[in-house]
Structure 1
Amino acid sequence: MSTPSAAPLLADPQDLAHVLPAGTIAGGEDPRAVQAVRRASNRFRAAARHPVHRVTGDQMTFDGPGGHVLRLPVLHPTVHRVTDQGRDITAHVRVSPQGYLQSTGPAFSTGYGAIVVELDHGFEDVPEEIEDAVLDAAARALAIPVGVKDLALDGASVSFGSDQGTSQDWADAVTRYGIGTGDRA
């Protein structure tokens, strides 16, 4: 799978202008806006447990489950080739938009690293619900100043940060589009 730093943004930083007060950022080219959207995109991917955006030409290796179903850690897969201990079994598998790979022939083997799947996966167009959640998280990060979060006088303990939390829209989008949480296709 692609790494978060190389992954495309899940929302357009230009759109932050619609959710932030006027004058907060200089527009979508503002490095703070791009960085906030990148961080929110990466946080969403981590929470959803898959890349979300379309990834082509990926190859994944799995331990054989020994049954007829293997759960792929992606949504909307398009499988090109499946091998089980080196045998091409592509003609004997079906895949669901939720990422379940089913053997319509013999059960998958049980060997370590036995199953190799070559595939494309993810959304061609990021769902608006995800874009909105990412923009909201980016806006929160830009609007809430980082400063003293906790202070203890006698123990001389100070911590810095922000208490930005997440919105209900964020939680709903992660539930609907996350692996093992909603698997919305």
Structure 2
Amino acid sequence: MSNHELINNLRNPETRDKAFVTLVGQFQERIYWHIRKIVIDHDDADDLVQDTFIKVWKNIDKFREESDIYTWIYRISTNECLNFLRKKKNRFFLPIHDVEAELKEKLTNSAHIDGEKIEMVLQEALLTLPTQQRLIFNMRYFDDLKFSEIADILEKSLGAVKANYHHARKKVESHVKSRDLNHEKS
């Protein structure tokens, strides 16, 4: 089923339920991993995936088809993550570095994250990045999105996205080098 057919079926009351099941089946895993890389915690990611698809369900009639349906869902999930992190920071009156420390704690104690040393160091490095840089790095490095797609999703200029990615990559490289994995034994 093409995206256009899927969208038409989502907007048709007679085919909406079945089309939504198809949509969720098609995109749920990719959206989960996108969210998971941002919020780290499995349970939080599950909740945010659910929130994302509820928003898709409620707002499908507002989708203007100016981008791919996945890009639209990805944008919704990204905004849900940013709102979640903002609320968490505000709810507990935490400075952002304390939220990052909490995420790092979840990372090191998570049964859902492979404990390979290099993966752990990479994830730790990502948690040192400002939220915007972390989002852009994840989208480019892990999801292999084009800079233009990232710019569309985040509603940022192409130049800003490229600059953020460049800075993020340099910081990640620096963090990984500082850990000198060849000499650590854990």
TM-score (norm 2): 0.27
Structure number with higher helix proportion: 2
Q: Pick the structure with greater CA Rg.
A: 1
Structure number with higher strand proportion: 1
Which structure carries more relative contact order (alpha carbon 8 Å, separation 6+)?
A: 1
TM-score (norm 1): 0.28
